[in-house]
Amino acid sequence: MAQVYDRLMADAPYDQWKNFTTEMIRSYHPDTRSILDLGCGTGEITRRLRTDGYQLTGVDLSAEMLSIAEQKATDDIQWLKQDITRLEGLQHYDCVISYCDVMNYLTEESQVQAAINNAYHALNQNGLFLFDVHSKEHMEAHLMGETFAEVYDDLSYVWFCDPGEEEGSVIHDLTFFVQQEDQYVRFDEQHEQRAYAAKDIINWIEEAGFVLKRMTADFDTQPKTDGNRLFFVCQKV
Q: pLDDT of the chain along its 237 residues, tens only?
A: 777 888 888 889 999 999 999 999 999 999 999 999 999 999 999 999 999 999 999 999 999 999 999 998 777 999 999 999 999 999 999 999 999 999 999 999 999 999 999 999 999 999 999 999 999 999 999 999 999 999 988 899 999 999 999 999 999 999 999 998 889 999 999 999 999 999 999 999 999 999 999 999 999 999 999 999 999 999 999
> How many Å separate Cα 166 from the centre of its chain?
21
Dist CA 86 CA 75 (whole Å)? 27
The angle subtended at Cα 94 by Cα 25 and Cα 136, nearest 5°, is: 65
Quote the pLDDT of residue 113. 98
Using DSSP's 3-state secondary structure scheme, residue 164 falls into coil
Dist CA 79 CA 40 (whole Å)? 9
Contact 132, 100 (CB under 8 A): yes
Helix (H) or strand (E) holding 67: helix 63-72
- Neighbouring CB atoms inside 10 A of 157's CB total 20
Taking CA atoms, 130 is separated from 124, 169, 233, 237, in Å, by 14, 23, 5, 15
Quote the pLDDT of residue 6. 82
Taking CA atoms, 156 is separated from 4, 8, 77, 143, in Å, by 10, 10, 32, 19
Q: Report which DSSP code applies to 167.
A: T
Quote the pLDDT of residue 73. 73
What domains appear along the chain, each with residue ranges and CATH number?
2-135+195-236 (3.40.50.150), 137-194 (2.20.25.110)
Dist CA 97 CA 90 (whole Å)? 13
Q: Please name which of 103, 194, 204 lies closest in space to residue 143, comparing C-alpha atoms.
A: 194
Please give the full DSSP string across 5-39, using - where no structure is assigned: HHHHTTT--HHHHHHHHHHHHHHH-TT--EEEEET
Quote the pLDDT of residue 62. 95
